[in-house]
Amino acid sequence: MAIHAMQTAPKEDLRLVEESLAGNQLAFQLLVERYQGRMFALARHYTRNPSEVEDIVQDTFLKAFTHLGSFERQSSLYTWLARIAINTALDFLKRHGRSPVQAVEDLEVVQGLDRSRPSSAAPAPDAGLEREEIAKITHQVLAELPEIFRTVLVLREFEELPYQEIADILGISIGTVESRLFRARARFRDKLLHLHPEFEHGL
């Protein structure tokens, strides 16, 4: 699996950004081609409707184009695009009356999830499961999680972003990323066992 996390935009990205700004349509098309796969994957965590997914990704790139001049050259283009995509997806869900499930973070703190016990027994995917089958189950479980937990898990586990980049995208501190990830993983585990009790003794 490729390592996507990067602190600064690679030279090729910067060149495409500059040329797009100078009015080169083909350069912008190449830039979209570079990142469209990851943006589609990201959007598909918020809706499975193909035309809605396409609308979200299209809006993401159109917004990116409009604000391309404000892209800071020392940051990662992917991080910048991912932030736009996540905000676009959440706006989209709100506009269509499907407000993403919100989590009451403080309640969970009160309930006392103990951070000193990070990993209770986790269900494991069966060895016989195909890659796409595992992905489908995970998708289904994530869809049941409050949006803030889903997003942080997607960015960490699928996009393999470092905590700092997740913090940048979501506009939160690294400490919040850590605690949110911790709670998200506990929720994911519980929901997985709830939906698929057959995996309980997988390990």
Partner 1 sequence: MTCNEALPLVWSYLDGELSEAQAAPLRKHLLECHGCRNSAQHGKTLKRWFVRSEADEIAPRGFAARVAQQAFAARHAARATEERELDEVDAPAEVSGEREDGRVFAFVLRLTAIAAVALFVLSLVLRFQALPATSGLRADQRAEPTLEEVKRGLEELNAKEAARARPVGHGTEQK
Interface residues with partner 1 (CB under 8 A) are 1, 23, 25-26, 28-30, 32-33, 36-38, 40-41, 44, 54, 57-58, 61-62, 65-66, 115-125, 131-132, 134-139, 141, 153, 156-158, 162-163, 178, 181-182, 185, 188-189, 192, 202-203
Q: How far is CA 10 from CA 1, 40, 75, 77, in A?
A: 19, 21, 10, 8
Any residues with CB less than 8 A from the CB of 139 and at least 6 apart, and which? Answer: 44, 45, 48
Whichever of 101 and 137 has its CB closer to partner 1, that residue is: 137
Whichever of 123 and 146 has its CB closer to partner 1, that residue is: 123
> DSSP letter at 7?
S
Whichever of 44 and 83 has its CB closer to partner 1, that residue is: 44
Rounded to a whole number of angstroms, the minimum distance from the CB of residue 104 to partner 1 is 22
Whichever of 29 and 49 has its CB closer to partner 1, that residue is: 29
Whichever of 96 and 134 has its CB closer to partner 1, that residue is: 134
Q: How far is CA 155 from CA 64, 75, 118, in A?
A: 19, 17, 19
Contact (Cβ atoms closer than 8 angstroms) between residue 148 and residue 103:
yes
Whichever of 12 and 54 has its CB closer to partner 1, that residue is: 54
Rounded to a whole number of angstroms, the minimum distance from the CB of residue 115 to partner 1 is 6
Rounded to a whole number of angstroms, the minimum distance from the CB of residue 29 to partner 1 is 4
Any residues with CB less than 8 A from the CB of 83 and at least 6 apart, and which? Answer: 168, 169, 170
| Burial letters 49-85, b for 16+ CB under 10 A, else e | eeebbebbbebbbeebeeebeebeeebbbbbbbbbbb
Rounded to a whole number of angstroms, the minimum distance from the CB of residue 13 to partner 1 is 15
Rounded to a whole number of angstroms, the minimum distance from the CB of residue 62 to partner 1 is 6
